[in-house]
Chain A
Amino acid sequence: MKTAAGHPTPSPATPVFATRHPVHPRLSRRMTWGLRGTSLAIILALWEWYGRSTNPILFTYPTAIAYAAMDMLADGTLLSALGQSLCVLSAGFALGTLVGIGLGLLSGRSQVVAGLLDIPVTALYATPMVALVPILVLWFGFGTSAKIVVVLLFTVFPVLINTQRGVREVDPRLVEVAHAFCSTEYRLWTDLILPSALPFVMTGIRLSIGRALIAVIVAEFYTAISGLGYLIVSNAHAFQTARVFVPIVGLMTLGVVTTGLLEMAEARISRWRQTSP
């Protein structure tokens, strides 16, 4: 049927959402976990071997940390410190995420809001937040609220910037589809803008987890000393190196676990664009 000379060429086939083929062959789940376990085992073994040959005041090793952790669990210092830190972390992180998503959605959808937020957001995101802590102490005191504000400021920007980007990346052609089917603004959000921005929001949240952990410790160092930050400082002053590492390893574990959980949530949410179920 398409033999006519000089027939107008059909536009190239460009389906909107082409199947995504993996660029690299995927490892099986078992293989992935095997590799993770191996790397962890090698690190721990080398650390144990090297750590045992050093001065215990300057360095330590995994089994010593484990014993210290058991002591600290038994006398209750670890759990109460962890509780304090987690309180600050979750409150600041939740607030930061909420504010970030809210402002991100607004500035993604409204050019006016975007224009208003543009310079302040870029300026604050580029500023090392640690520099602001002394001022925050002036404003909010040394208490829990100051710590929560520190965590909030550390976490809000990655979420805000990613959410904004997600809203802006909404396919304008799908917006037209929604309009053609007489969608209301509310349904435009639920059918199109939110689902399409969600993966970006999740990425923002995942990026800010690491910053939130930094923020907690910074806040605990620079305001009224408390929580895991207190354990680190006080044990370091007492040259209890193994005990210094207990909260540090705890923070690492916290980071790995929360990031892992968020990655799982991300994969679940964006099931519609996975290569294989």
Chain B
Amino acid sequence: MSSRTAKILLDQIALAFGERIVLQGVSLTLYEHDLLCIVGTSGSGKTTLLRAIAGLLPLRSGRILLDGAAITRPTPRIAMIFQHFGLFPWKTVRANIAYGLSVQGRRDESGVVTRLLDVMGLTEHAARYPYELSGGMQQRVGLARGLAVRPEVLLLDEPFSAVDAITRETLQGELIRLWEDPQRRRISAILVTHDLDEAILLGDRIVVLGGIPGHVRLHLEVPIPRPRAPQDLRFHPTYPQLRRQLWDALQDDRVPQGASDHGTQYAEKSN
């Protein structure tokens, strides 16, 4: 593990909104071609953490390093995917995907936009406006817009929580395919979610955030080998144990007693 190169390093960071400290003493490492999932209940500061890594929020203390250099403002080397998709309603699908490149003054010399339209199954929707697309399609556009700038780090903020359950599974499958595609071995990613199965399915490692102020509760590796398939996930022998560990770590936040009962029940059921 220690032999791997760190892409992003969070060193004892603290974040605050005014006087209210949201995160305290968070240290994390994201390696090269590593997919780190951050899970936590609502209000655990996981989205705030992601915005800080994107350079959108100032730190109260600590450092965030990208290849050893501090991130203090947004950089073209990092792209973010938003829970609310964040598409420009007056731009067509194609213009939305090309937005990052264009706003960074870069030319689309190799036809990345056209290729991503194809990869995401959006070619025939290229001239449409976001309102004409389903939620799933809109998030495909959001994903394509993030990938189009060829980022070194992709930050995904609950990317699939605003779409319906079936679309979510499809999109998760597509993200796995993209991730396991040898052409994209350069990218590292952090995905924030409150969906434990999503974290187990997608993550190489999972970090649980919790407490007030938020801190790292649990940090574990997902031993399920790639390529992964969503439908086989729950039959992997380590799955119930893994899920229960995550569940218990999340429950510490809430009712200390009785919380683990839930976990036990669930573990029994899925066995």
Question: Which residues on A are within 8 Å of B, measured CB to CB?
Answer: 1-2, 4-8, 10-11, 13-20, 173-174, 176-184, 187, 191-192, 195-196, 270-273
Given contacts A16-B87, A182-B104, A270-B90, 11 further A-B contacts (CB under 8 A): A2-B165, A8-B41, A11-B158, A14-B162, A19-B131, A176-B51, A182-B75, A183-B103, A191-B103, A271-B129, A272-B131
B99 to chain A, nearest CB (A): 7
Contact in complex: B194, A8 (CB < 8 Å):
yes
Chain A residues contacting B86 (CB-CB under 8 Å) are 16, 173-174, 176-177
Q: With A7-B196, A8-B195, A192-B88 as known contacts, state yes or no: A181 contacts B162, CB within 8 Å.
A: no
B24 to chain A, nearest CB (A): 22
Q: Measured between alpha carbons, how far is A45 from B85 in the docked complex, in Å?
A: 56
- Sorted nearest first, the 6 A-B pairs with minimum C-beta distance are A177-B86, A272-B90, A272-B129, A195-B90, A180-B80, A17-B89
Q: Measured between alpha carbons, how far is A184 from B86 in the docked complex, in Å?
A: 17
Chain B residues contacting A2 (CB-CB under 8 Å) are 165, 195, 197
Contact in complex: B89, A191 (CB < 8 Å):
no
A195 to chain B, nearest CB (A): 4
Chain A residues contacting B243 (CB-CB under 8 Å) are 4
Contact in complex: B194, A17 (CB < 8 Å):
no
Scan residues 159-207 of chain B and give those whose CB is less than 8 A from a CB of chain A.
Answer: 161-165, 168-169, 194-197
Closest to A192 in B: B88
Scan residues 78-112 of chain B and give those whose CB is less than 8 A from a CB of chain A.
Answer: 79-80, 82-91, 99-100, 103-104
Chain A residues contacting B42 (CB-CB under 8 Å) are 8, 11
Q: Measured between alpha carbons, how far is A195 from B90 in the docked complex, in Å?
A: 7
A48 to chain B, nearest CB (A): 47
A sample of 14 inter-chain contacts (CB < 8 A) reads A2-B165, A5-B265, A8-B250, A11-B161, A13-B164, A174-B86, A176-B51, A178-B103, A179-B56, A181-B149, A191-B91, A191-B99, A191-B103, A272-B130
Q: Measured between alpha carbons, how far is A31 from B54 in the docked complex, in Å?
A: 53
Q: Measured between alpha carbons, how far is A272 from B100 in the docked complex, in Å?
A: 20
Scan residues 209-246 of chain B and give those whose CB is less than 8 A from a CB of chain A.
Answer: 230, 234, 243
Chain A residues contacting B25 (CB-CB under 8 Å) are none
Contact in complex: B197, A181 (CB < 8 Å):
no
Closest to B251 in A: A6
